[in-house]
Amino acid sequence: MNKRLFALLSLLVVASMALAACGSAPAATEAPSAATEAPAAQAGGAPAACSDALGCAVFKPGDSITIGLGAPMTGDNAGFGIDADNAMKLAVKDAGDFQGWKFALISEDDGGTPEGGATVANKFVSNPSIVAVAGHLFSGATGAAVPIYEAAGIPMMSPSATNPALTQSGSKVFNRNAFTDATQGVYAAEFIYNTLKLTKIAVLHDGQAYGQGLAQVVNDEFVKLGGTVTTFQAINPGESDYSAVLADISAGKPQLVYFGGYVAEAVVLVNNFKQAGLAGVPFFSDDGVYGQDFLDRTGANGEGSYGTALIPPASAAKDKFDAAYLAAYGEPAGKLSPYSWNSYDAATVLIKAIESVAIKGDDGNLYVPRAALVAAVRATSGYEGVSGKVTCDATGECAASGPVFYVDHNGEWVLP
């Protein structure tokens, strides 16, 4: 037993040594002259702004000022991460260089899960050259990551984490330029009741944080307005046949089916409508569904379906971005996920904020005061991005526009 214990102990030691040895490795190998934290009392060139507890990020000439992106890059939802990464790379490229320093983007896979979010956040805060995070994308991962960034003083700008609770906990670092589920749900219920003049709907969701929250809001709001919800049902995401649950819904004879969830399930649902006896009943869904994908893959079945978009109004900036995206990746913006424009703006807002607070020290290094940067991001006001005018309120809500409802007509999203 003694011998075993000994073997065990030595293994533990070796394993942790290996981990610890790697602990210092990334910073050292990835950027040989990596930026280092400037302690409050550092002599020589450090500006006064660095004297608070969070200090400054220091960039030697030739270093890159880095923005992090935590997003699902593998698995079912990889499309969201890849799209955000694509758009943000363009933002970094468009930012050009700032007084001789270049910007860079590091994307890490958080799988969209809370565990992954925390892992990536810990990795980012250990990298001194990361000053801001344009993410995370999913609400679950974001929720787990916020406290970690809060402690390190790294400002966030998420293009797509829409869980209302995220901005209600009083976080200083968390901002988002997407409208929340609560906003969207209320708008949608009002639109169905007041504009479409329908009183009997069925509400369906995909059992995930985003869709479930949204469906709940729509359900409550619709009942409050005086409508009837015939069925409130949930599906398991990732399946290929929902005809049974739709048959259940059709038994209640609703005038419309609201669905909170993502495009993958929405396509299956809409294609199952006819078989389930719901032919002619309009399908109404959220911004996780809006996109070219839905149109392409539902074809004639999708005619008359409603989608919610955060697609910005046409502008010169948007056209330019769309063209650049298409040229760089061979696919139009908004195809992989509806958050292309928000992603670009999220990264750009962060870059502008960095530029506004960065100070070139007397020693030729660039200093980015972290506390000032957190405040600068929150103070963003009137920035004209591709998604519209981005202005943040005191809680970190920076959505450029409210939800707009579109209807699928002849394979195109048009205003109803």
Partner 1 sequence: MNKQIANGLRVGLTFGIVNIFLFLIKFPVIAGTIIKKIIPNFIVALFPINPDILDILIFIGLIGIWAGASGGRKLDEKSDNWLTSFVGGAAAGLVNALLIGALVFILGSLTDAHVKINAYLAAILPAVVKLFLLDQNTLNGSLTQFVFSFVAGALGGVLGFAFRGQWFASLKNKWNAAWASLTENPQIKKTFARPIARIALSALGIAFLLFIPQIAGKYWNYTIGTVGIYVLLGLGLNIVVGFAGLLDLGYVAFFAIGAYTVALLTAPNPHHLMWNFWTTLPIGVVLAAAAGILLGIPVLRMRGDYLAIVTLGFGEIIRILATSDLLTSFTGGPRGVTAIGQPTLFGKPFSSDTDFVYIIFIGIAIAIFITIQLRSSRIGRAWEAMREDETVAQAMGINTLSHKLMAFAIGAALAGLGGVLFASRNQFTGPEDHNLMVSINVLSVVIVGGMGSIPGVIAGAFALKGLPEILREVQDYRILIFGALLVAMMIWRPEGLWPTARRSMELHSADPEDPESGEAKTSEDKP
Partner 2 sequence: MKETTLRAKSSKPLSAYRLIQALLGALFAAYLIWRFYNVFLDGTPSYGADSWLRFAISGVVLGSVYALIAIGYTLVYGILFMINFAHGDIMMLGAFSGYFVFEALEKIPSPVIDNPNQVFLNAHPVISVLLAFIVGATVAAVSGYFLEKIAYRPLRGAPRLVPLISAIGASIFLENAALLLFGSQRHDFANPVQITRGEGWNIPINGEVVILPYTGVLTIALSILILVALYVLVQRTQLGRAMRAVAENKSAAALMGINVNGIISRTFIISGALAGSAGVMWGIHLGLVYHMVGFIPGIKAFTAAVLGGIGNIPGAMLGGMFLGIIETMGPAYLGMSFQLKDVLAFSILVLILIFRPTGLLGEVLSEEKV
Q: Which residues contact 132 (CB under 8 A, 6 or more apart)?
A: 67, 68, 154, 155, 156, 157, 350, 353, 354, 373, 377
91-150 binders of partner 2 (CB under 8 A): none
Q: Dihedrals φ, ψ of 356, to 5°?
A: -75, -20
Q: Which residues contact 388 (CB under 8 A, 6 or more apart)?
A: 312, 313, 315, 400, 401
Picked from partner 2, partner 1, none, the partner binding residue 8 (CB below 5 to 8 A depending on kind) is: partner 1
Picked from partner 1, partner 2, none, the partner binding residue 414 (CB below 5 to 8 A depending on kind) is: none
Which CB, 20 or 279, lies closer to partner 1?
Answer: 20
Residue 157: count of CB within 10 angstroms of its CB: 30
Residue 235 is a binding residue for partner 2 (CB under 8 A): yes
Distance separating alpha carbons of residues 30 and 108, to the nearest angstrom:
14
Distance separating alpha carbons of residues 238 and 287, to the nearest angstrom:
18
| Smallest separation, CB 414 to partner 1 (Å) | 26
Which CB, 167 or 272, lies closer to partner 2?
Answer: 272
Distance separating alpha carbons of residues 174 and 203, to the nearest angstrom:
31
Residue 330 is a binding residue for partner 2 (CB under 8 A): no
Distance separating alpha carbons of residues 146 and 117, to the nearest angstrom:
9
| Smallest separation, CB 109 to partner 2 (Å) | 12
Q: Binding segment for partner 2 among 75-83, 314-322, 359-367, 391-399 (CB under 8 A)? A: 75-83
Of residues 56, 268, 374, 392, which one binds partner 2 by CB under 8 A? Answer: 268
Picked from partner 1, partner 2, none, the partner binding residue 289 (CB below 5 to 8 A depending on kind) is: none
Task: Tell me which residues touch partner 1 (CB under 8 A).
Answer: 1-2, 4-13, 15-20, 22-24, 29, 73-74, 108-109, 113-115, 118-119, 122-123, 125-126, 139-140, 143-144, 147, 163, 165, 207-209, 212-213, 232, 234, 236, 329-330
- For 97, counting Cβ atoms within 10 Å of its Cβ (0-12 exposed, 13-18 middle, 19+ buried), the class is exposed
Residue 74 is a binding residue for partner 2 (CB under 8 A): yes
Which CB, 205 or 318, lies closer to partner 1?
Answer: 205
Q: How far out from the chain centre does Cα 326 lie?
A: 21
| Smallest separation, CB 190 to partner 2 (Å) | 27
Which CB, 165 or 251, lies closer to partner 1?
Answer: 165
Which CB, 85 or 150, lies closer to partner 2?
Answer: 85
Q: How far out from the chain centre does Cα 370 lie?
A: 22
The size of the interface with partner 2 (CB under 8 A), counted in residues, is 37
Q: Is the dihedral of CA 95, 97, 99, 105 positive or negative?
A: positive
Which CB, 112 or 159, lies closer to partner 1?
Answer: 112
Residue 267 is a binding residue for partner 2 (CB under 8 A): yes
Q: Binding segment for partner 2 among 8-16, 149-157, 247-255, 355-363 (CB under 8 A)? A: 247-255
Distance separating alpha carbons of residues 153 and 364, to the nearest angstrom:
24
Q: What is the dihedral of CA 91, 97, 103, 104, to 10 degrees?
A: 80
